[in-house]
Amino acid sequence: MELSERLLKFLDLDKPDDDPDFQDFLTEFKISAKRADKHTQQYDSRRLGFSLTYNRSLGIMEGLCFHIFTAAVADGAFKPYEGLLPFGITTSDTRDEVRSKLGVDPIRSTPYEGYPDKKTCNSCEDYPTWWDTYNLPTLTIGVIFRSPVGGMDLFAVNPAEKRFVEKIAEFERANSRIRKEQSDPHQQPNNNNQGTRTNSQATRRNQRRRPGSRHQGQSET
């Protein structure tokens, strides 16, 4: 099985980061956890050029990023990913080739952040870097291309936006039950809810998160 295929299966929303298969994978590739902040856990393979992000608040694997020529690669923090990407895509594929292999048109296609405002350009094709976003039934794909006809800089995979929103809703319902129990001293606690995080700041942060946004061109240290 290709490395990219093995990585994709860890984006299953019901698989925590202590899943035995995932722990075996970490051992095989000598990957250790890095706590990005109090809400997320980062699993990076700087040698192979990919990173996984686990959302500690929601209990889901929320993002997979293949660093091809990101700022982290340019800075020497990551080696470029050189393997096959999901769905048979290669790092040298053009925007048209990626669109053909995924079998759908992008839901968003914009000049990548940091380049001139779209209104100042006579033709969008003049932009050197593009960010295309694709919605698949269970996944959202984000690709940053070096140019319309050149290779790519980054390939990111996240759970589909709808599934991610559903998980946030579950998290909110659990928090609501706990707050209700805590406000009523005569109500017996529900053991099924013990240990559930109640940090409202984490909830607001996840509601603002756009799939793929965490990794888009950011440098890892």
- Cα–Cα distance for residue pair 104/175, rounded to 1 Å: 37
Q: What is the pLDDT of residues 127-162, one digit of tens each?
A: 567 889 999 988 999 999 876 556 788 999 998 877
- DSSP code for 187: S
Domain boundaries, the chain: 3-90+154-163+202-208
**Predicted TM-score of the model (pTM):** 0.72
Q: What is the pLDDT of residues 71-97, one digit of tens each?
A: 889 889 999 999 999 999 999 998 899
Q: Is the pLDDT of residue 51 over 60?
A: yes
